[in-house]
Structures are given as structure tokens and as C-alpha cells.
Structure 1
Amino acid sequence: MPEQHPTSPVRIAGRRLRAPLASVAAVSALVTLAACSAPGSGSDSDAAANPTPTAVNTAVADTPAELTLFSAAGLQTYEQGLADAFMAKYPKIKVKLRVEADNNYNTVLPRLLASDSTPDLVQPYDLLGGVKDNLLTNLDAYDKAYGWSSKVPASALAPGRVSNGAVGGGPLYQAGGSAGPLVGVFYNKELAAKVGMKKVPGSIPDLEAVMAKAKKSGITPIVASNQDGLIGHLYNLLLGDYMGAERLSDIVYHQPGANLDTPEAVKATETLQKWIKAGYFASDVNALNQEASYGKFTGGKGLFFFQGSWITQALDKNFKGKYGVFPMPPATQDGPYAGMTSNTLAFSIAARSKNKDAAALFLDFLTTPEAAKVAVDNGYAALTSGTAAPGKPSLSGTLTEQIQAGYAAIAADNGFDSWLQNAAPALNTKLTQQLQLLVSGKVEPAAMVETLQTTYADALKSS
């Protein structure tokens, strides 16, 4: 699995479909929603154990209720913050957390969802299994009532859609706002100044020009660890750029006909190989692990670090204020942004919940600036609808502002995708092996892509 933010569960991200522009939460104003149906329609008691409610009630804010949110321990502080903010806005509805150890969460959840004491709000890792077993609520009626599809980027909602045993399209089973880590290009400010990088590169060729200047100046352009295959962050970003986020996500989602062995994937692999042959990585990159790469970057041993914003917790210990971040540039000037993320503001409602309407109000609350602020305060980027377009990524501003701007740029292009290795455990292992072979010059791009596709196809057959 890819390295993740310590408090973020691994989950797959969305497809590149057009949707209204989302913008940064910090400057947003609250969007007030009117009730879409009369009180009393679609009562919670009628909805209990019904996985596909059709009559729903949005006028529940003044009706006393108690919701249970099933939380993994690593997310407890964050999700308690969401619960507190929701109760401050809707004091008649109480939200209580039921906390489970991180390593038990995925094991315990299916049993709870099938019980009479099911929690109302959950974040299932196995969304397909939950839908297949009728343990989760089809949220389409609530989506229509609250207008989530018009307020949240389509690529942020896509991983909550399930149809015919595949994720990415069809009815909605997981919804909320849009928040998560930014995977992008971290840079050493001092070294960036030395090579004359005065603005965010606007394309892959622009990025290559900066790296060429760094190499000529005796500066290693890219810090990475590949003992653990974490060059995979960069490789996934390149795949998203050249294939497009939707096609990359289709592979992770197991969409019928999805295929990695394409000219675009080969082009992405050739680009990475070109950077390897140009000496843009340290010669010992295959021997470096994650912790060592952190030390290299904070020690000034390289200009760029392709990573996720979860690393700020580690870097800030002795490098705060000395680095910044921008989103991976598009393949071509003015092309679409793409990048991997995991939506921490997405939740499902248990099919056996007796408080579906109140739980749906909580999901709607997750699209507001109040919820986005909680996400930002907990180290995530977060977006909400209803405000002006965000500023373009730049080298100015605080680190938090740069993370927000990068996330917003990807959201504006509906460019959220996922890590290729999330498609199958076997692919995770094979990708690390192939990246090590690519670095050592023992595999060519076309052969590497073919091997990865074969591994993927075999995994699907055996699943």
C-alpha cells in the first residue's frame, strides 16, 4: 500500500468528471439549505433496515436524535472535532463516537453493520462487500434532496459509487464533503532560489527544465526512497498526468475493460526512466528507505520530494518554514491537474440505522465550511462549494495555503485519482519490484507496463 498520512485510512479516489468548481474552505461562506420535503415524510422508523430509501426528510434539525459514529482510534480526534462542530450547529442531534483500535476496525465493522446495535455513520474499507450484503444505505434520494452532486467534485464522490460489483459509477453509498491529503511536489526553498525557480512549473517540460538547472548546479533534483518502492508516488503522478485521472482510477476500481498497457502509461514510464538516466535521483536511491529520504530532504540533499502532505508532521520537527509544495504540473501547459488523495470527509449510513434522516443531515454538514475548517485544522486540505474560484498554485503564502491551493486546483479539474497499487495486493508487490528494476536499468518501460498489466489481469481472475 502507498505510504499514508498517519491518521488517514487508505481509500481509493475518484474519476475525472466535470463538476462545478470547488474552492478553499478558509474563505467560504455557509450555504444554507432549505428542507426539500415536508416533516414526517419517510420516517426514520420506516427507513430502518431499508438499504434503498426513497422518501426522505431533510427537515430534521429540530427533532431530537442520537447518532453513533464508528471511529478508528487514529481518526478519533478528527472525527470528534466533526461531531462537536455538527452539534454546535444542530444542538438537538447528539453524535457519540464508538472508537475501535485501528487494526480491528475493518474486522469489527461488518459484524456491527449486521447487528441490531449498528452505528449510524461508518467509513467502510470494503465498500463493495457492504453494498453486496445490503449493509449500507443507497444515498441517491438524499443526494437528490440535498444536491450533493452539484456541491462536491465528482471525483470526490466517485469512490462512493457502486454498480455491478465495481466502484466509480452508479448509486451513491458514501458521501460528504471533500477533504484529504495533497500528493504533490515538495521543494526546498533555499535550493529553489539557487536554481532560479520563481514560479510553479506549469507543465512537465517546465519541471524538467528546473531539474536540469539543479543537476547542472550540482544539486540532486529529486529525493526519493525506493527500497520501499516510494518512487511510486512520483510514478502514480506521472500516470495520472499522461493517462488522465479517470482512466487511472478505472483500473483501481476494476472497471470492465480498464487497461494499463497503453501508449500513455508507457509514456509516463519513459518519462520516469528519462529522469533516472539523467541522474535526477541519488545513485543509492534503491537502497534508501522512507526515514532516510526524510533526512535527505531536510538535510538539503535534494530540491524536490514527491510526497503527500501527511509528511508535514515529520518534516516540521526541524525543517518548518524551509520548504513548500505545489501540485504535480500537468503533462502539457494548461492541461488538467491530477493527483492521488483519500477523502476523509466521506461517510456511509448503515442500512439498519434507525436515524437515517439525521445521519444524512450529518453528511450534508460535511459539505459546509465548518466541517472543512475541522479538516484543515487536522492537517488536511478541504474544499466546499459556493465561493469564488481559488487562487492558482504559487510559491508564496504559507504551507497550509499552498496545500489548499494545490488540492483546489486538482478538484477544479476533477482530477482526484488513486494509487495504482491499490488495485490489488499483488500489484503493490510487483510495482515495487518493477520500479527497482527500472532504476537499476534492468527493465524497459514497455516491458514494465506489460508486466504490471499482466499482474493486474491475473489478480482480477483470481479474485
Structure 2
Amino acid sequence: MLQQHPTTSPARSHTSVVGRRLRATLTAVAAGSALVTLAACSAPGSGSGSSADATPTAVNTAVGDTPATLTLFSAAGLQTYEQGLADAFHAKYPKIKVNLRVEADNNYNTVLPRLLASDSTPDIVQPYDLLGGVKDGLLTNLDAYDKAYGWSDKVPASALAPGRVSMRTTGAGSLYQAGGSAGPLVGVFYNKELASKVGMKSVPATVADLEAMMAKAKKQGITPIVASNQDGLIGHLYNLLLGDYMGAQKLSDIVYHQPGATLDTPAAVKATETLQKWIKAGYFASDVNAINQEASYGQFTGGKGLFFFQGSWITQTLDENFKGKYGVFPMPPATEGGSYAGMTSNTLAFSIAARSKHKDTAALFLNFLTTPEAAKVAVKNGYAALTDDAKSAAKPSLSGSLTDQIQAGYAAIAADNGFDSWLQNSAPAVGTKLTQQLQLLVSGKVEPAAMVKTLQSTYADALKSS
């Protein structure tokens, strides 16, 4: 399944669990080195409590040799990937089986709440409506397991944040969804031949350095940026700029509806001004508002532009004849030495049903998702996976294979705890308004400050209506 629109790429706006988690198959990335394997440890107590206990406090991590059978509720589009996880887990813990209960992609979100409330609930799920599941007492509070296994110390906080719930918001509070860290890289794809022509010998260290490459390209008659804005996909670049100037946490706070979060800030205006500057400089094709995503793919593979701001899901979509002719690096920070930031989705995050009769064993499975074996499964299925040397991984480079570059970019963002989400994930109305405003920005009919105020107003109205 391929990502077709920014409002279908981020987790919150998906109507399909496959669209929410799969993001399309990426080019496989080399595992490189392994995730840290968490040593088994025991928290006070010997069991997970009854199946009705949604907030266990006494948990047992020494269950690897206890026979059990877990059920993982899977969407059909993820069956191969999740079966791979189940098989790898069973290989590590032969006395525990993980059976998949597979549902059609378009039925998953409808069927799941009923299953979670039934006596035949699966043990492991990934709910689309995390807030609703927590509110209805259908999901297990994982704080005790987090403490016992040390997940918060092993996984970037920005990767765990979408699984935290506090009051009526996500992004902070108790943990209800956990696991490892794997997902797509949204960054800067580049045409190798054109990069050589403009003298780009290393990954730009700042937004200003990236802009300098664009200026050189423009001077040589090369279109600096390939994009489609008929469907608002300049939004990928805009979100990357927002993450750079606002910081990943402040952007995520908006998406997670954190109290006091606002887009109407000087940093957001600066990001918008940067995009406007590139528009006015002619760094996009003059007809970018009339170009759709499919056409933009053809332009990039046809050598019509230097840079393409997209997600690594596109690697299976680009022309086969273009393989080896392009690379990718993460969006450079706004300032030298600044933090990397970028949108992603954690494909190794799962929840445990409140009615599960095997909570401790299910938590062992979640812990397994932080191990080298799980990372290899993620890589085999096309995701970049967080490795144990993420903080000391090789810096993003123009050398190495495409898969190496994807992995390095993902690791760089992880090391800076810079995972964030798409602004349009904050509310459907924001997604619609963002596409409109981006088109107006391109056509010169809105100024950056006014655009930011409009988006903030749309966001505030959406919060009130919800």
C-alpha cells in the first residue's frame, strides 16, 4: 500500500490500520548493528493480575519459560510482517506461541473495539483510537512494565510519545502502547548526477547550506525542488521546516493536543517565510500547484529536479531504471549543530488488551520488539530500525547504499529524539486547510504570518468542536 497523500500518511488521520502503520513498503535497510537486548528482570509481585485489571502494578518478567499462547490481532496487509515478528519471538521463546487473528484491512478498526470488549479478546493489538480505548478501559496501562523492562530508557521518548495518554490527550502521561522503534524516514531525496553538477560533496549541515545548493542549481538551469501541490504535498517540506524551527516537541504537542500548544509562534512564521522565500526564488516548477504526486515521481526520476522532499516509502514506487541514481539524507537542522527532526510512525508499537489473560507474556512480546531479532524482521519488511548504536551511528553521508542512507538518517533523528508527526494529523480540518493555504502561498495570495494564524484558528476551532 503506497502513501498517496499527506493526510493519509500520518497515524491519526488514517482510516485503515495498514495505512496507519505500513506507510507502504520501503526499500529494505541493513540492520547494521543490533538493538540493545533488555535483560529479564522481575518487578515486585509474581503475576499480571486478573484479565480485568487495566492497570497492573505487580508484574512478572520471568515468563519466558512458561508455556502460553498469545493472540495478535492483525490487519491483512500487515500479516506477513507481524507473522515474521511472531515467528522470531517463538524462536527466542519456544514455549510461547503467537497466533495471528487476521482481519480485512477495511474492517480492522471497526472490529477491534468489539473484540477488546469481548470475552475472546486478542492479547496484542494496535488500536487506531488509542484515546477511546483507554477511556473505555479496553487497554492495559503499561507503566509497570515500562519500569520493569526500562523501555523509557531504551527507546527515544519521541517514539514512545504517541503511546502515552493523559486525560484527553496523547503524547504525555501513562504508557498504553510500546515496543521498539522502526518506521519510514521522511527526508531529502536527491538526484546524484545533478548533485554532482552543483558541487554537493557532503550532506548539507544546515537549512542555509541546503538553500545554497538550491541557489547553485537554479543558476545552472536546474529546478531545485520537485514537488506536487495539487494535492498539498509541499506539506512534507513544510512539516520538515516546522520541525526544524519549532522543534520536534512543540510540533508534536500540537498534534497531540497538549494544553497550551499553539502554531502561532515566531518559529512557525519563520518556517513559513523560508518556504515562501524558496517559492519566490523560483526553486519550484512554476506549475507546481497543478502537479500531482504521480507526476512528481515521474519528474524526479526523469531528472527534472535536484531535491525531492518525501518519505522512504517512495523507493518502491520510483522507476526501476532510476535505482542507484538517487540518495537520501535527513532534513538538516535550522542551525549548525542543531537537532535533527522528522516525521515518522512507530511500526513496532503495540498495546495489550485489558482483558488479556496473559498480560505478562504479552509484555514480554513488547519487550522483544526492542531486540536485534525484531529489528531484523522490521528491516526485512522494509523499515528503518533503531539500532543500539543509534547515538554513535555514522553521520548522514552521500556515500553508501540507499539503504545505508535511510538507516543513518533514521538513526540521526533518533539520536536527537527528534521524531514528530504531520501538522495535519492534529485534526482533519487542519489537513484540508493546510492544502488550501499551501496553494495560496505558492500563488502569492497569502503571507506567512496570515497563513500561520489561519492554521492556528482552524486548529483551535477543531479542538473546540471535539
Q: Is the 8 A contact 1:160 1:173 kept in 2?
A: yes
Give 2:369's aligned residue.
366
1:92-117 CA-partner distances (Å, limit 9, x unpaired): 11011111121111111111110111
Give 1:10's aligned residue.
20
Instruction: Decide whether aligned partners of structure 1 residues 25 and 141 sit closer, same or farther in structure 2, where only a CA change above 3 A counts.
Output: farther
Q: Is the 8 A contact 1:28 1:387 kept in 2?
A: no
Extract structure 1 runs of 4+ deviating beyond 4 A. Answer: 5-8
Work out the CA distance in 2 between the residues paired with 1:276 and 1:78.
Answer: 40
1:33-62 CA-partner distances (Å, limit 9, x unpaired): 133248xx4435x33121000111101111
1:58-89 CA-partner distances (Å, limit 9, x unpaired): 01111111111111112111111111111111
Work out the CA distance in 2 between the residues paired with 1:32 and 1:101.
Answer: 34
Give 1:133's aligned residue.
136
Instruction: Decide whether aligned partners of structure 1 residues 189 and 3 sit closer, same or farther in structure 2, where only a CA change above 3 A counts.
Output: farther
Work out the CA distance in 1 between the residues paired with 2:292 and 2:80.
Answer: 29
Alignment of 1:168-317 (within 5 A): 168-315=171-318, 317=320
**Counterpart of 1:223 in structure 2: which amino acid?**
V
Instruction: Decide whether aligned partners of structure 1 residues 148 and 316 sit closer, same or farther in structure 2, where only a CA change above 3 A counts.
Output: farther
How many correspondences in the alignment? 448
Kindly indicate whether residue 76 of structure 2 is the aligned counterpart of residue 66 of structure 1.
no
Counterpart among 443, 453, 462 of residue 456 in structure 2: 453
Q: Is the 8 A contact 1:227 1:287 kept in 2?
A: yes
**Counterpart of 1:31 in structure 2: which amino acid?**
T
Q: TM-score under structure 1 normalisation? A: 0.94
Work out the CA distance in 2 between the residues paired with 1:427 and 1:180.
Answer: 24
Q: Which runs of 5+ in 2 are unaligned?
A: 1-5, 11-15, 22-29
Instruction: Decide whether aligned partners of structure 1 residues 273 and 362 sit closer, same or farther in structure 2, where only a CA change above 3 A counts.
Output: same
Kindly indicate whether residue 40 of structure 2 is the aligned counterpart of residue 34 of structure 1.
yes
Alpha-carbon shift at residue 32 of structure 1 (Å): 4.8
Q: Is the 8 A contact 2:123 2:352 kept in 1?
A: yes
Q: Is the 8 A contact 1:121 1:350 kept in 2?
A: yes
Instruction: Decide whether aligned partners of structure 1 residues 30 and 158 sit closer, same or farther in structure 2, where only a CA change above 3 A counts.
Output: closer
Work out the CA distance in 1 between the residues paired with 2:142 and 2:370.
Answer: 15
Work out the CA distance in 2 between the residues paired with 1:135 and 1:42.
Answer: 23
Give 1:402's aligned residue.
405
Work out the CA distance in 2 between the residues paired with 1:102 and 1:282.
Answer: 37
Alpha-carbon shift at residue 384 of structure 1 (Å): 3.4
Work out the CA distance in 2 between the residues paired with 1:301 and 1:89.
Answer: 49
**Counterpart of 2:372 in structure 1: which amino acid?**
P
Work out the CA distance in 1 between the residues paired with 2:390 and 2:108.
Answer: 36
1:146-185 CA-partner distances (Å, limit 9, x unpaired): 1111111111111111011111111100000000000000
Counterpart among 109, 113, 122 of residue 125 in structure 2: 122
**Counterpart of 2:9 in structure 1: which amino acid?**
Q
Give 2:148's aligned residue.
145
Task: Look up the SS of the partner of 1:315 in the other structure.
Answer: coil
Give 2:47's aligned residue.
43
Which stretch of the first structure deviates more once superposed, 178-187 or 370-379?
Answer: 370-379
**Counterpart of 2:184 in structure 1: which amino acid?**
P
**Counterpart of 1:256 in structure 2: which amino acid?**
P
Work out the CA distance in 2 between the residues paired with 1:215 and 1:317.
Answer: 27
Work out the CA distance in 1 between the residues paired with 2:384 and 2:219.
Answer: 35
Alpha-carbon shift at residue 2 of structure 1 (Å): 3.2
Instruction: Decide whether aligned partners of structure 1 residues 90 and 316 sit closer, same or farther in structure 2, where only a CA change above 3 A counts.
Output: farther
Task: Look up the SS of the partner of 1:297 in the other structure.
Answer: helix
Instruction: Decide whether aligned partners of structure 1 residues 193 and 3 sit closer, same or farther in structure 2, where only a CA change above 3 A counts.
Output: farther
Alignment of 1:299-378 (within 5 A): 299-315=302-318, 317-378=320-381
Q: Is the 8 A contact 1:214 1:220 kept in 2?
A: yes
Q: Is the 8 A contact 1:222 1:304 kept in 2?
A: yes
Q: Is the 8 A contact 2:330 2:396 kept in 1?
A: yes
**Counterpart of 1:389 in structure 2: which amino acid?**
S
Instruction: Decide whether aligned partners of structure 1 residues 42 and 75 sit closer, same or farther in structure 2, where only a CA change above 3 A counts.
Output: same
Counterpart among 436, 439, 446 of residue 436 in structure 1: 439
RMSD: 1.6
Give 1:462's aligned residue.
465
Work out the CA distance in 2 between the residues paired with 1:426 and 1:229.
Answer: 14
**Counterpart of 1:311 in structure 2: which amino acid?**
I
Work out the CA distance in 1 between the residues paired with 2:174 and 2:304.
Answer: 48
Kindly indicate whether residue 439 of structure 2 is the aligned counterpart of residue 426 of structure 1.
no
Instruction: Decide whether aligned partners of structure 1 residues 387 and 221 sit closer, same or farther in structure 2, where only a CA change above 3 A counts.
Output: closer
**Counterpart of 2:449 in structure 1: which amino acid?**
A
Alpha-carbon shift at residue 29 of structure 1 (Å): 6.2
Work out the CA distance in 2 between the residues paired with 1:179 and 1:29.
Answer: 11
Instruction: Decide whether aligned partners of structure 1 residues 85 and 285 sit closer, same or farther in structure 2, where only a CA change above 3 A counts.
Output: same
Q: Is the 8 A contact 1:26 1:373 kept in 2?
A: no
Q: Which runs of 5+ in 1 are unaligned?
A: 12-23
Task: Look up the SS of the partner of 1:59 in the other structure.
Answer: coil
Task: Look up the SS of the partner of 2:200 in the other structure.
Answer: coil
Task: Look up the SS of the partner of 1:409 in the other structure.
Answer: helix
Task: Look up the SS of the partner of 2:172 in the other structure.
Answer: strand
Alpha-carbon shift at residue 291 of structure 1 (Å): 0.5
**Counterpart of 1:243 in structure 2: which amino acid?**
M
Q: Is the 8 A contact 1:4 1:308 kept in 2?
A: no
Task: Look up the SS of the partner of 2:245 in the other structure.
Answer: helix
Work out the CA distance in 1 between the residues paired with 2:389 and 2:288.
Answer: 45
